[in-house]
Amino acid sequence: MTIDALNLSGAPTPLQRADRLGRELGFQPGALMIKRDDLTVFGVGGNKARKLDHLCADARNRGCRTLVTGGAVQSNHVRMTAAAAAMLGLECVVVLGGREDSPMEGNLLLDRVFGARTVFTGAVYSDELEEAIAEEVDRLDSRGEAPYLIPLGGSSPIGALGYVDAAREIAAEASGAPVVYTACGSGGTHAGLVAGLGDHARVVGVDVGAVRDIGTKVASLAPMTAAAAGMAEPRGEVRLVSGQIGRGYGAPTEAAREAILLVARTEGIVLDPVYSGKAMAGLVADRREGRLGSDQPTVFVHTGGLPALFTSRYRDWLAGNGNAVASDGQ
């Protein structure tokens, strides 16, 4: 598969030493680094930008005029897709799993700012949402709007090529053979990193509870992504941390809150409560419990998600004034 990727994301992103955080966690100087994919350059930033570099190139090559995707009301992926469409002069239709009377804040507000048309379904599970998205694609196609379907989270072999690119950056910039930690939601970031590094042992995905049986999805998607990139099938078996989900997808945990505050107060970097906060909580637990050595080169992929912090669901929780309810998603 040959797709000439766009560079909407502004990649490469910085690989930043995190020595103050590393010292708090008992790492040797220089061992802990953060891949700043929160600093991609459009739509408030985040990891979905890399996937959209490839997906939007494919849409353009196919002559499509409307990007169609979906997610929960506070989906980072939906927000980034809406922004990418605006940059390229394309229409964008987003199918959302929440209610039409959801608070106009965070990512939902930004979807509107970027000009996306929103369709609310009330769907709870990903299979229901995927069915609703497919129906919307058929409707748009019948009206001649030339739709391009982007899967949930942008997690397809084409989208995951964005994290083959990121893996190459990490391999070129990091010393030694680092272990890479990332949040694992829809699986594309994890699978792309594995495909790019060639070895499941090099990538630890922290399951945030977005998809049932995510390990099976990563195991399937990684070799398909490697094939799309013209690379060998990755070695080994999927590595997942499953102890950071809490009560469910988007449900805040005390470990995530601790991780967010720790990173903010040592490195001046803001994580989010749904993805990167839980991923960092997984890294912190592995280091404190001895599963991650003090001298092991370690890269944490910051996937973004900043708008969630400014929603009513998480504001009081992060400030220590109460507990947020289980989320309707990111």
Q: Catalytic amino acids?
A: 75
**CA nearest to 74, candidates 304, 318, 276, 329:** 329
Residue 243: CA atoms inside 13 Å, Cβ hemisphere, count? Answer: 7
Determine the residue type at 164: V
Q: Is the peptide bond before 12 cis (omega within 30 degrees of 0)?
A: yes
Rounded distance between C-alpha atoms, residue 121 and residue 148, angstroms: 20
Residues 253 and 282 sit within 8 Å (Cβ to Cβ): no
Give the residue ranges of DSSP H helices in the chain.
19-25, 48-61, 76-88, 106-113, 126-142, 157-173, 188-197, 214-228, 254-267, 276-288, 312-319
CA–CA separation, 321 and 14 (whole Å)? 34
Pairing of strands 179-184, 66-71: unpaired
User: CB atoms < 10 A from the CB of 320, how many?
Assistant: 8
| Distance, CA of 69 to CA of 154 (rounded, Å) | 8
Residue 242 burial (10 A CB sphere; 0-12, 13-18, 19+): middle
CB 50 within 8 A of CB 163: yes
Residue 182 three-state SS: strand
Instruction: Name the phi and psi angles at 208, rounded to 5.
Output: -105, 5
In angstroms, the CA 22 to CA 27 distance is 5
Q: What is the identity of the amino acid at 228?
A: A
Rounded Cα–Cα distance for residues 65 and 257 (Å): 41
